[in-house]
Amino acid sequence: MHSLPSQAIRPLSFSSFSSSSSSSLYLRFISSTFPISPYFNPQSPVFAAISRRLRRSTIRSCSFITAKPSSDLRNTRSKDESDSKLQALRKLFSKPGIDIDAYVIPSQDAHQSEFIGECYMRRAYISGFTGSAGTAVVTKDQAALWTDGRYFLQAEKQLSSSWVLMRAGNHGVPTPSEWLADTLAPGGVVGIDPFLFSADAAEDLKETISRKNHKLVYLYDYNLVDEIWKESRPKPPKGPIRVHDLKYAGLDVASKLASLRSELGEAGSSAIIISMLDEIAWLLNLRGSDVPNSPVMYAYLIVEMDGAKLFVDTSKVSSEVMDHLKSAGVELRPYDSIISEIENLAEKGANLWLDPFSVNAAIANAYRSACDKYFIRLGNKKKGKGKTSETSNSEVGPTGVYKSSPVSIAKAVKNHAELEGMRNSHLRDAAALAQFWSWFEEEILNGVKLTEVEVADKLLEFRKKQDGFVDTSFDTISASGANGAIIHYKPEPSDCSAVDANKLFLLDSGAQYVDGTTDITRTVHFGEPTTYQKECFTRVLQGHIALDQAVFPQHTPGFVLDAFARSSLWKIGLDYRHGTGHGVGAALNVHEGPQSISFRFGNMTGLQDGMIVSNEPGYYEDHSFGIRIENLLVVRDARTPNCFGGIGYLGFEKLTFVPIQTKMVDISLLSVAEVNWLNDYHSQVWEKVSPLLEGSARQWLWNNTRLIAKS
């Protein structure tokens, strides 16, 4: 395991939570920093000030907006159903012990997960919008939902006229906290479930609304959406936990914990609370089944210098898992006892490391309150208000160490075994996709009518036949024609389209295998694409190639590379409303932080050898078509003839090997070098994948990896 460099952890005091952008209510950015040259020092006061400024300006605060009500748009949800839920929720506002004027419902669970168990999909239940990112805000007379550009079209379809859609990131759109500050009458009270907000996001909300004399209250006793969901709310997941084999993990639990404890000692902390589900799964070499498509289990983990405690539903723990944990010195505790254990740590004077971007506000507040009680009990007026790297370690009493989790980077930088598993699983996945595309193309040519759901189901059949298949890594985006413009479209049996051979077809899919995680997008046309569609596709491909071939200094933040993928589109005034690349876990979450390649320049995480990112530029013509080309890449050391400034350089290694449809390419727009890239890629696809195929699938692969020439 690569241990986390000290400069990767940006010290934070508890009071500095408010420096984050208020957009953190619906987008979570991790701002671990790395130098990208000897002259770019993240430890300097100048850089720290710049970094704080960048984080504040991730999505600019603007004046009030004019937003289109959802009634002006197509929607498929009953207004009566939406109104009844909103009315029931608002009745609770005046209940004794609550007494609020507004309630904020985020997408996340208590672990700040992007993908969550069905019983925690509160925002989806109250609003009807099912996208993975969004924040709902309900006042006594208004209801508004914020989401980002990936979901604008989906939200337009799903929200009833009772809701106003707030297109986050567009010019003039306020953040939820800004909107609340301006909308509520003076002295308003905003309620939240503190388990569903990170400490950072809750503090930011509190600060923003307090500028207009509003108050934030934590409603600990129960979640208001759960109160109206009642018996129809799904039960908490009870899926079994399994041991992740050492041959895939590459490093045993004892070694990982030893490395983490070394980090704790250097930071002056005696314990750490880890709440991100994929971090817990990675650290303990466990995998779960609590969250669809993500092999994680609901749990918290506390690691101390002399032991560790896993807070989990013990009914999920088999004797094999129990022995596995016991051998690493990990004890089991009930999931719901986490708050009392946090308070116990403060009572015994532990300096607790908390990541303010992932640990929920309920835990952070419990520790802070327990620290206050500790000092009061000792008759000491000094309160534990948080500790930075400048704080003396000799101070008496518990203090919080507020920094990004060191597990985040350690997990992101894959070891040799994890990379081998990713390479192997991608080849098996490529074989399944070749079999699928061969079948699909034949069906279309024979005039067989297929729905988007039937196509997705058939792809799953082919993947299930591959060794080590566990699950899909996300809901398959099987989109014909205009549905392809809905960036995170999910076809439903009751409301999906038939595949039209005369329209573009976009397929974004992935799988979880015991040894790796895949994510791939291809866009094809079974008939004759228009000249404009070919130009758009070719410019997306040029962006894909430009990023794939990029060479850059070590620790360069991903946002520096984002423009590589957009440049060709920009030349004709086109763009896309999503990031170019996300991190990917090794047999873990398909979306992994902290690394990314995105226009959101608040994320200063530097790319490192061994990280995995996606390369997925696209273009979307609203209500017409969508285009995306996606491969996964490994960040690798690059050999360069020079080494300016004494630092090394990085490039990318491909993981994904599936043909790109050359019929969609306007070769006249490609340079000779770009044609060579495409031919070389297809040669690699044939060489690596053809030995795994036979019959019609092998012939399909041969037909689709033929060389092209620039006339």
Written as one string, the DSSP assignment of 53-116 is HHHHTSS---------BGGGS---S-HHHHHHHHHHHHHHHTSTTT--SEEEEES--TT--SS-
Q: Which of 184-198, 202-216, 377-391 has the lowest mean pLDDT?
A: 377-391
Report whether pLDDT(53) > 60.
no
Residues 368, 427 share a domain:
no
Give the pLDDT band (50/70/90) at residue 81.
Answer: low
pLDDT of residue 360: 97
Task: Output the 3-class SS for 486-540.
Answer: CCCCCCECCECCECCCCCEEEEEECEEECCEECCEEEEEECCCCCHHHHHHHHHH
| Mean pLDDT, rounded, for 238-259 | 97
Which CATH number covers residue 127? Answer: 3.40.350.10
Residue 214: give the domain boundaries: 81-232
Tell me the pLDDT of the chain averaged across its residues: 88
Report whether pLDDT(14) > 50.
no
How many residues are there in the chain?
711
Using CB atoms within 10 Å of the CB of residue 221, give its burial: 0 to 12 exposed, 13 to 18 middle, 19+ buried. exposed
Residues 487, 551 share a domain:
yes
pLDDT of residue 380: 52
Please indicate, yes or no, if residue 32 is contained in any of the structural domains: no
Q: Tell me the per-residue pLDDT of 598-632, one tens digit each, with 9 for 90 and over.
A: 998 788 999 999 999 999 999 999 999 999 999 99
Q: Tell me the per-residue pLDDT of 375-384, one tens digit each, with 9 for 90 and over.
A: 988 875 544 4
Q: Tell me the per-residue pLDDT of 556-573, one tens digit each, with 9 for 90 and over.
A: 999 999 999 999 999 999
| Mean pLDDT, rounded, for 683-710 | 97
Please indicate, yes or no, if residue 360 is contained in any of the structural domains: yes
376: CB partners within 8 A, 6+ apart: none
Please indicate, yes or no, if residue 15 is contained in any of the structural domains: no
pLDDT of residue 79: 58
- Residue 348 CB neighbours (<10 A): 10
Q: DSSP for 621-634?
A: ETTTEEEE-BEEEE
Q: Hey, what amino acid is at 215? A: K
* Percent of the chain clearing pLDDT 90 (strictly above): 81
Residues 292, 216 share a domain:
no
Residues 181, 263 share a domain:
no
| Mean pLDDT, rounded, for 522-546 | 98
User: Angle at CA 422, nearest 5°, toward 417 and 427?
Assistant: 130
Report whether pLDDT(645) > 70.
yes
Domain limit, last residue, from 186, 204, 232: 232
Beta bridge partners of 69: 164
Please indicate, yes or no, if residue 323 is contained in any of the structural domains: yes
Report whether pLDDT(61) > 80.
no
Residues 184, 276 share a domain:
no
Report whether pLDDT(73) > 60.
no
Distances (CA, A) of 276 to 110, 198, 312: 9, 11, 13
Residues 251, 227 share a domain:
no
Q: Hey, what amino acid is at 602? A: G
pLDDT of residue 3: 30
Indicate the pTM of the whole model. 0.86
Give the pLDDT band (50/70/90) at residue 80.
Answer: low
Residues 256, 209 share a domain:
no
Give the pLDDT band (50/70/90) at residue 150.
Answer: confident
pLDDT of residue 355: 97
pLDDT of residue 4: 28
pLDDT of residue 248: 98
Residues 459, 588 share a domain:
yes
Domain limit, last residue, from 193, 211, 232: 232
Report whether pLDDT(596) > 60.
yes
pLDDT of residue 78: 54
Report whether pLDDT(77) > 80.
no
Residues 367, 423 share a domain:
no
Residues 307, 332 share a domain:
yes
Please indicate, yes or no, if residue 19 is contained in any of the structural domains: no
Report whether pLDDT(395) > 60.
no
Give the pLDDT band (50/70/90) at residue 149.
Answer: confident
Report whether pLDDT(170) > 60.
yes
Report whether pLDDT(29) > 90.
no
Q: Which of 75-79, 197-201, 248-252 has the lowest mean pLDDT?
A: 75-79
| Mean pLDDT, rounded, for 143-156 | 91
Residues 530, 440 share a domain:
yes
- Identify which of 3-17, 489-503, 676-690 has the greatest average pLDDT: 676-690
Please indicate, yes or no, if residue 127 is contained in any of the structural domains: yes
Domain limit, last residue, from 195, 213, 232: 232
Residue 281 near residue 297 (C-beta atoms within 8 A): yes
pLDDT of residue 465: 98
Please indicate, yes or no, if residue 422 is contained in any of the structural domains: yes
Beta bridge partners of 191: 103, 217
Residues 544, 449 share a domain:
yes
Please indicate, yes or no, if residue 43 is contained in any of the structural domains: no
Strand 581-583 and strand 516-517: the pairing is unpaired
Number of domains in the chain: 3
Strand order through the sheet with 477-480: 477-480, 504-509, 520-525
Backbone angles phi, psi at 267, to 5 degrees: -85, -5
Give the pLDDT band (50/70/90) at residue 70.
Answer: very low
Which CATH number covers residue 608? Answer: 3.90.230.10
| Mean pLDDT, rounded, for 670-691 | 98
pLDDT of residue 39: 30
pLDDT of residue 40: 34
Return the higher-pLDDT residue of 647 and 80.
Answer: 647
Q: Tell me the per-residue pLDDT of 270-312, one tens digit each, with 9 for 90 and over.
A: 999 999 999 999 999 999 999 999 999 999 999 999 999 999 9
* Percent of the chain clearing pLDDT 70 (strictly above): 86
Q: What is the CA radius of gyration of the chain?
A: 25
Structure tokens given for 375: 């000092």
Backbone angles phi, psi at 458, to 5 degrees: -65, -40
Q: Tell me the per-residue pLDDT of 106-140, one tens digit each, with 9 for 90 and over.
A: 999 999 998 999 999 999 999 999 988 999 999 99
Residue 105 near residue 135 (C-beta atoms within 8 A): yes
**CA torsion angle 11 16 21 24 (round to 10):** 80
